[in-house]
Amino acid sequence: MVGTFVEIGILAAEIVVVPMLFLFCRAYTFAYIPLFIAYPAEILPFQLRAKGLAITLTTDSLACFFNQHVNPIAFSALY
């Protein structure tokens, strides 16, 4: 949509971007949050379900920590 504004100059394409981003993020969150817990619980056998969910949530926590604390240091070193 932003490319349409740059190429053709249609103002409506620029205005539509922000609401579409909000709608996309809402739909993505609505679908992803339940699947994040449901999918590992569904595919793992009953005996491994607790360990699999623990690994999934630990990996997610480590990734969030990395994104929150390490990435800003790396990006500040780039500039």
Closest CA to 48 of 40, 57, 60, 58: 40
Record the pTM. Answer: 0.61
Evaluate whether 60 touches 36 at the Cβ level (below 8 Å): yes
**pLDDT tens for each residue of 16-40:** 888 989 999 999 888 888 888 899 9
**pLDDT tens for each residue of 59-71:** 999 999 999 999 8
Share of the chain above pLDDT 90, in %: 43
Mean per-residue pLDDT of the chain: 86
How confident is the model at residue 59, as a pLDDT? 95
